[in-house]
Each structure stands twice: as structure tokens, then as C-alpha cells.
Amino acid sequence: MSPSSRSIRCSPMRILVIEDEAPLARSIAVALESSGLAADVAHDGEEGEYLATTHAYDAVILDLLLPKKPGLEVLAGLKARRPALPVLVLTALGDVDHRVRGLDRGADDYLAKPFAVKELLARVRALLRRGNPNVAGAMVTIGDLEVDLAGHIVRRGGRILALSPREYALLVLFVNRRGEALTRTEIGEHVVDREFESTSNLIDVSIYGLRTKLGKPDLIHTVRGVGYRFGAEETH
């Protein structure tokens, strides 16, 4: 936690998606990222349980039918080792028995496939709100920039800006850690999916795009030898 964070957290919330269907996992991750959350994907139960218990996630989306380790076992393991970590269970097994077994083992919510991504996002936000009530309603104002983190609306000088999902994720990172010098590595972790290799170029493209759309005066300041700092003025 940064000392400069007040009512909101210092970095985007991070969600782990444990889902073996790669296209579905990918589309869930993209949807999470476009709503300003960071997402990682694990494609089997073992990898998922390992990541969830060794990294600081804010919530887990867990499929039940998984290779290497069944979702219900992963769920039991997570709840034993990280009881406060919210888990949304996702599965094709939409029948009552599986639902009851999932909830019995500590699932915080349950969504049957097929589902609308919009509904999944709404449920994830609800889980995150339970854990961290300040985040959902946060409206951040920096100079003439207004970022509505609940509504995902960005305005500068009263004008609504159309940002790409990656630019929005970058902006949320900057806003939550305004005034801090962020390294390119930290920025990369939040705006680039770890499956991509061309991290450096994507960071440059996202920063260029966001900087152009935000307009003048510039809010993204280059910190020589470090990376970037976000703010209405150079304070350091």
C-alpha cells in the first residue's frame, strides 16, 4: 500500500482466472482488463492453486472441470489456505447438486455456463466490493481530469474521453498511484497480458495513446531512468 493512497487502493485489483478453455479464459481476462482490473490466467487446477496461494489476488474465478486437479479440490485448498480470498465458481455443471457442493466448500458466488460476460463482471465487482467497500464508488479528480471508477467514465475539462481497454487499465494504474514514479516493469504487469511477448512496445503504444487522448497540460511525466509519474503537476 502506498502512503499516498487515500480512499482507494494503490493498484488495480488483480483477478486470477482458472479456466482451461483458452479462448474463454482469454475473453474473460480481456473483459476484466477493460473494466480496469488486472487479470492472470491459469489453464489447469494445479497451476491455478499454486498461483492463487503464492500471489496477492483480490478474487479468483474458478472453473470446476479442470485438468490436473478438479475445481472443487482447488476450491477446498484455497479456502483452507486463504480463507478471505473471494472465489467465484464458474462451470458448465449448472445443476443444483454441484451448486450446493461448491457453496458448501466455500465458494462466494456461482455462475453457470453459458453466461453473459457482463453478468460475470457485475458479480466480480460485487465480490470485490464486499472485500473493499471504498473501491466501487470511487470518483477521482486530478486537476480537470475526472475518473469515475465505478462507471468507467473518464472526463477531462468536462469532455468524455474514449479510451481503449488497455489505455483505461493504464489510466486506473496511474490514478491509483498518482505522484509515484512507476517503472516500466510495474506498468507492464498491469497493462500487458503475460502471454504477450512484446511488452515494451505495448507499453509505449498505450502510454502514447493515453497521453494523446488526455491532451494538455500533460499528466504523464517521464522520470528519467525510472519510468513515469502521473499527476497534474511535477511535484518532486
Which residue type does 188 have? G
What DSSP character marks residue 197? S
Residue 47 binds Ca ion (CB under 5 A) = no
CA distances from 188 to 27, 54, 64, 102, 193 (A): 19, 20, 30, 35, 8
Kindly state whether residue 112 participates in binding Ca ion, applying the rule CB under 5 A: no
DSSP secondary structure letters along 77-138: HHHHH-TTS-EEEEES--SHHHHHHHHHTT-SEEEESS--HHHHHHHHHHHHHHH-TTTTT-
Q: How far is the CB of 143 from Ca ion (least distance, A)?
A: 46
The CB-of-111 to Ca ion minimum distance in angstroms stands at 13
Report the length, in residues, of the chain.
Answer: 236
Instruction: Please choose, out of 56-64, 72-80, 119-127, 222-230, the segment that lies near Ca ion by the rule CB under 5 A.
Output: 56-64
Cell numbers placing 158: 468536462
Measured between alpha carbons, how far is 207 from 205 in angstroms, rounded to an integer? 6
The count of residues interacting with Ca ion (CB under 5 A) is: 3
Stretch that binds Ca ion, among 14-22, 40-48, 113-121, 141-149 (CB under 5 A): 14-22
Q: Which residue number, 20 or 167, has a Cβ lying nearer to Ca ion?
A: 20
* Least distance to Ca ion, CB of residue 195, Å: 18
The one segment of 7-15, 16-24, 93-101, 104-112 that binds Ca ion by CB under 5 A: 16-24
Q: Which stretch binds Ca ion (CB under 5 A): 8-16, 27-35, 61-69, 114-122?
A: 61-69
Of 175, 184, 134, 135, the C-alpha closest to 154 is 175
State the minimum distance, in angstroms, from the CB of residue 113 to Ca ion: 9
Question: Judged by CB under 5 A, does residue 63 bind Ca ion?
Answer: yes
Residue 39: name the closest of 54, 23, 59, 24 by CA.
59
Min separation Cβ 124 and Ca ion, Å = 18
The grid coordinates of residue 165 equal 481497454
- Residue 111 as a binder of Ca ion (CB under 5 A): the answer is no
Of 15, 30, 1, give the one whose Cα is nearest residue 193: 30
Smaller CB distance to Ca ion: residue 49 or 180?
49
- Residue with Cβ nearer Ca ion (93 or 220): 93
Closest approach of Cβ 91 to Ca ion, in Å? 7
Residues of this chain that bind Ca ion (CB under 5 A): 20, 63, 65
